[in-house]
Amino acid sequence: MSVPTDATTPTMQAAVLTRFGDADSFQCVPLPRPQPEGDELLIRVAYAGVNPADWKDRRGYLTAFFDIEFPYVIGFDAAGWVEWAPPGSSFQVGDRVVTPSAHGQGKWGSYAQYLVVSPDGVARVPDSLDLRVAATVPVSALTAWQAITRTDRGYLQPGQSVMVHGGAGSVGRFAIQFAKELGADVTASCSAANRSALENLGAHRTVDYRADLPEQLARSHPAGVDLLIDAVGASSLPDIAALVKPGGRVVSIATLNDDGDVPALIADAAGAGIARQVFAMDDADCAADLATIVDAVADGRLQLPAIHEYALADVAAAHRLLENGKAAGKLVLRVSDSASGAAPD
Ligand SMILES: NC(=O)c1ccc[n+]([C@@H]2O[C@H](COP(=O)([O-])OP(=O)(O)OC[C@H]3O[C@@H](n4cnc5c(N)ncnc54)[C@H](OP(=O)(O)O)[C@@H]3O)[C@@H](O)[C@H]2O)c1
């Protein structure tokens, strides 16, 4: 993305990368505000949700997916207010909204005071839901929702069995709750410390990923499960045929750092009669699904992990925790200093 050079362009504060690298690569400096085009909305960001993809993005792992130019603003999840909407838009200035942003299509992301995004990727946030909480939802919930429900992904059916590998993570927690709501039999892998939390979310049982997974799963599912959702990485599942029944499915969520030799893994699985795929969240036309999920969060029908808030200026500290795997719960960056309720002046 090129940076407008017109001196009259309004600016915004952003956590900016001028190179790929470690957590100290961010600089909080002003940048020109992005300008909406066509039906795009200009969103003022209150909070940016932080995802594992963000540290990988910071390190340059997303260069395979879109062209990246510096200065570069990362971040997918955002909650905030509509700052500008084109005439005829279904959104109004001041609407409280949440979005996975258009960063997945190469636009600047949510680690900045403003972003532009197509309305088909934006959902309203009910007044009862804090924007800080809403900002933690899009990527992890949409990924879990698509992995569990889509006909071309997990397509889980009532009465079928699913193992959610990585059940204590943000994606895993949503996947457990969606699968339980669908009427599936749910097993989740986690560390011993998270067992009761995941059973409270709706997992019928948990297995400890530090012990023998096939041996533990065989106690309830000797022939394996119908569906395995892998939200951890290929190296953590050396033998899926010991976990999934013939005719079953494996949906691996692309990690960018532990996806293995994908064609070989798919071929190996096919040899055991298992359909395996690796997928990334689809952010096209996600507004309706996101609105349904956000409403369920607002109504208390979906539980979220603990949230830890950082100022945008402290983005490096948040990223160090995230990259080291020490971020228990979900991290958000406070991008706007306004309260999370009404739109600021
Ligand atoms: N491509 C996409 O569209 C997309 C979208 C979303 C996420 N992802 C990727 O999916 C992965 C998960 O994302 P996330 O947001 O859920 O991450 P997260 O919240 O950071 O997940 C952390 C959890 O992973 C669990 N874990 C670590 N190693 C494990 C193992 N060997 N077995 C089982 N659980 C293990 C830990 O559980 P304990 O606390 O119990 O130890 C921890 O709570 C990341 O690699 C992320 O980049 C990709």
Sequential pLDDT tens for the chain (345 residues):
344 446 677 999 999 999 999 999 999 999 999 999 999 999 999 999 999 999 999 999 999 999 999 999 999 999 999 999 999 999 999 999 999 999 999 999 999 999 999 999 999 999 999 999 999 999 999 999 999 999 999 999 999 999 999 999 999 999 999 999 999 999 999 999 999 999 999 999 999 999 999 999 999 999 999 999 999 999 999 899 999 999 999 999 999 999 999 999 999 999 999 999 999 999 999 999 999 999 999 999 999 999 999 999 999 999 999 999 888 899 999 999 764 444 443
Residue nearest to atom 2 of ligand 1 (CA): 280
* Residue 340 pLDDT: 45
Amino acid at 40: E
- Which numbered atom of ligand 1 lies nearest the CA of 190? 40
Tell me how far apart the alpha carbons of residues 174 and 157 are, in angstroms, rounded to a whole number.
17
Contact in structure between 256 and 61 (CB atoms under 8 Å): yes
Ligand 1 atom closest to the Cα of residue 233 is: 45
Q: How far is the CA of 159 from the centre of ligand 1 (A)?
A: 26
Distance 71 CA to ligand 1 centre (A): 29
Query: How far does the centroid of ligand 1 lie from the alpha carbon of residue 265, in Å?
Result: 20
Selection from 318, 319, 311, 314 nearest residue 336 by Cα: 311
Q: Which pLDDT does position 210 carry in this prediction? A: 97
Phi-psi region of 212 (alpha: psi -120 to 50; beta: other; left: phi over 0): beta
CA–centroid distance, 183 to ligand 1, in Å, is: 24
Which residue from 148, 174, 149 is spatially nearest to 294, judged by alpha carbons? 174
CA distance 39 to 41: 7
Q: Give the Å distance between the CA of 231 and the centre of ligand 1.
A: 5
pLDDT value at position 337?
Answer: 75
d(C-alpha 329, C-alpha 92), whole Å: 33
Q: What share of the chain is helix, strand, coil (3-state, %, to 5)?
A: 30, 25, 45
**Residue 328 DSSP symbol:** -
Structure tokens at 88: 């005829």
Residues with CB under 6 A from ligand 1: 51-53, 139-140, 143, 165-166, 168-172, 189-191, 194, 209, 231-232, 236, 253-255, 280-281
Atom of ligand 1 nearest to the CA of 167: 34
* Pairwise CA distance, residues 178 & 332, whole Å: 23
- What per-residue confidence (pLDDT) applies to 4? 47
Q: 32 CA to middle of ligand 1, Å?
A: 34
* Nearest CA residue ID for atom 15, ligand 1: 170
**N residues, the chain:** 345
- Model pLDDT, residue 339: 45
Omega before 71 cis (within 30°)? yes
Closest ligand 1 atom to 254 CA: 1
Q: Which residue in 111, 20, 169, 59 sits closest to 315, CA to CA?
A: 111
